[in-house]
Amino acid sequence: MHLETFIPAFLMFAVLGLVLPIILSDMAEKGRNYTVEPKAEPAASPASVYKQIGGEAAVNAAVDVFYRRVLADAYVNRFFAGVDMDKQAGKQKAFLTMVMGGPHNYTGKDMREGHKHLIRMGLNDSHFDHILMHLRATLAQLGVPENLIQTIIGVAESTRADVLDR
């Protein structure tokens, strides 16, 4: 038999047996580099935040402290002039409870409808940022761990486009 007949077969074995494993192991190595390293403190899932911060009592305390801060802030308190703050706090408690994975008792307006009239009063991103700042400070003051604060702020942040009607 001529040597030439072996050349294609030899090349095929060389590719399958030697080169392919090298390529595959290189790809696997690269793939490992793309996987996200688990964070030391995994982000809390919104569905569990309500329980983790302490349920109803914690939400009630947070909303009370939050509105005390907001009403003392001259940059945003004009938006709340004439608002029944007991009712407002009740709605906010129900809303936060719902978005943090607690019981669904929120019957208020959706965020776009609930804030539309405030846009006409000049509500913009800077006011929204102030409100988030008060929410963050409130949660920190109540000793809520940083990873839960981040999750809650993330949920609040996700309402920005609706609250600002864009």
Instruction: Quote the CA–CA distance of 77 and 71 in Å, as a whole number.
Output: 5
Question: Cβ of residue 23: shortest distance to ligand HEM, in angstroms?
Answer: 51
**Contact string 116-155 vs ligand HEM (x = CB under 6 A):** --x----x---xx--x------------------------
Among 46, 54, 55, 114, binds ligand HEM (CB under 6 A): 114
Which token pair is 153?
């702020």
Q: Is 23 in the site for ligand HEM (CB under 6 A)?
A: no
For ligand HEM, the binding residue among 109, 146, 154, 161 (CB under 6 A) is: 109
- Specify the residue, 52 or 160, whose C-beta has the smaller distance to ligand HEM: 160
The interface region with ligand HEM, picked from 32-40, 42-50, 75-83, 140-148 by CB under 6 A, is 75-83
Q: Which is nearer to ligand HEM, 21 or 78 (CB)?
A: 78
DSSP the chain: --HHHHHHHHHHHHIIIIIHHHHHHHHHHHHHHHSPPPPSSPPPPHHHHHHHHTHHHHHHHHHHHHHHHHHT-TTTGGGGTT--HHHHHHHHHHHHHHHTTS-----S--HHHHHHHHHHTT--HHHHHHHHHHHHHHHHHTT--HHHHHHHHHHHHTTHHHHTT-
Cα–Cα distance measured from residue 104 to residue 46, given in angstroms and rounded to the nearest whole number: 14
> Quick check: 69 binds ligand HEM (CB under 6 A)?
no
Among 49, 62, 100, 115, binds ligand HEM (CB under 6 A): 115
Query: By CB under 6 A, is residue 92 in contact with ligand HEM?
Result: yes
Residues that bind ligand HEM (CB under 6 A): 76, 79-80, 83, 88, 91-92, 95, 108-109, 114-115, 118, 123, 127-128, 131, 156, 159, 163
